[in-house]
Amino acid sequence: MKTVSSRRTFLASSAFAAAACALSPVASGKAQPKPAKLSPSPIRLGLASYTFRNFTRAQMIGYMKQLNVAALNAKDTKDHLPTDPTLESAAVADYAAANVHLHAVGAIYFPKDEDADIRSKFEYAKRAGVKVIVGGDPTPASLPRVERFVKEYDIKLAIHNHGPEDKLWQSPLDILKLIGNLDPRIGCCIDVGHTVRAGTDVVDAIHKVGPRLFNMHMKDLTDFTSKESQVAVGDGKMPVREIFEALIATKYDGFVDLEYEVHGDDPMPGVIGSFAYMRGVLAGMGYKG
């Protein structure tokens, strides 16, 4: 699998380029060209609220403002997006007041192949005003029943792969094998870390999933066989630029949500570094992240 430079290498090269461009007309003896204007990015960066699982909704909103990130994939953790309708409505109002855009909910689990339980998950997403449910563990047997609710609510189900520990959905390709004949609103949430740990080339998976890719969870690893090797994006081996290029090539229109699962009590240093690196990669591609 291809890899990209570490953040250290990337920032070093960026600093060199910046230094080269920083010479003033007086110092260089000639007028300097204006820097190229960056185009709007086709890659939309967001946040998985699980990143701030040890922090309240109000704290997370404050952190999002610091990060200049407005798109959120919210989960029923802490008080981020409770399943109780009254409490959920209050959370939705708080996000709206803070100009935080809820674009997905999850991961949500489907332990029962029963109408009432499945409907409750779709009602939860409907109340939040989102069009994507990131689904953790629907069984293959339950998919025809889930499909009925996908059609009724017109809400997409993005099944989340969970790597080699998962008995059902290790890789996005495992999901793809079983959804081909189902409604096109049933697709994948590719978790890049779990994907590479399952031995799947994540760039190839993006191309193969194509229009059935509805959400992305971004993270980085220093060892593609070790879940415990997660680091800030850019400090590991994840081929971030190649991932972005594949998403652009396949016309992906969802969000790339950072899911930083380490340092739960103090995630901001890694989160800041991750967004800085992803925005730097986009800038190197000519886009404003």
Whether the CB-CB separation of 157 and 146 falls below 8 Å is answered with yes
Each residue's pLDDT, cut to its tens digit, for the chain (289 residues) gives 444 344 444 443 443 333 333 333 333 344 545 557 899 999 999 999 999 999 999 999 999 999 999 999 999 999 999 999 999 999 999 999 999 999 999 999 999 999 999 999 999 999 999 999 999 889 999 999 999 999 999 999 999 999 999 988 999 999 999 999 999 999 999 999 999 999 999 999 999 999 999 999 999 999 999 999 999 999 999 999 999 999 999 999 999 999 999 999 999 999 999 999 999 999 999 999 7
CA distance linking residue 61 with residue 49, whole number of Å = 10
Q: In total, how many domains does the chain have?
A: 1
**The model's pTM:** 0.87
- Structural domain contains residue 31: no
- Structural domain contains residue 10: no
Cα dist from 279 to 7, 66, 218, whole Å: 12, 15, 13
- Structural domain contains residue 237: yes
pLDDT in the model for residue 34: 53
- Structural domain contains residue 165: yes
pLDDT in the model for residue 7: 45
CA distance linking residue 196 with residue 179, whole number of Å = 21
pLDDT in the model for residue 15: 33
Domain harbouring 126, CATH code:
3.20.20.150
pLDDT in the model for residue 124: 98
Angle between helices 202-209 and 172-179 (to 10 degrees): 20
Whether the CB-CB separation of 205 and 250 falls below 8 Å is answered with no
- Structural domain contains residue 6: no
Cα dist from 139 to 33, 113, 134, 200, whole Å: 58, 8, 14, 21
- Structural domain contains residue 131: yes
Range of the domain at 268: 38-288
What are all long-range contacts of 74-82, with beta carbons under 8 Å and residues at least 24 apart?
Answer: 74/49, 74/102, 74/104, 74/105, 74/128, 75/48, 75/49, 75/50, 75/105, 75/106, 75/107, 75/108, 76/108, 77/49, 77/50, 77/53, 78/52, 78/53, 78/54, 80/49, 80/52, 81/49, 81/105, 81/128
pLDDT in the model for residue 35: 53
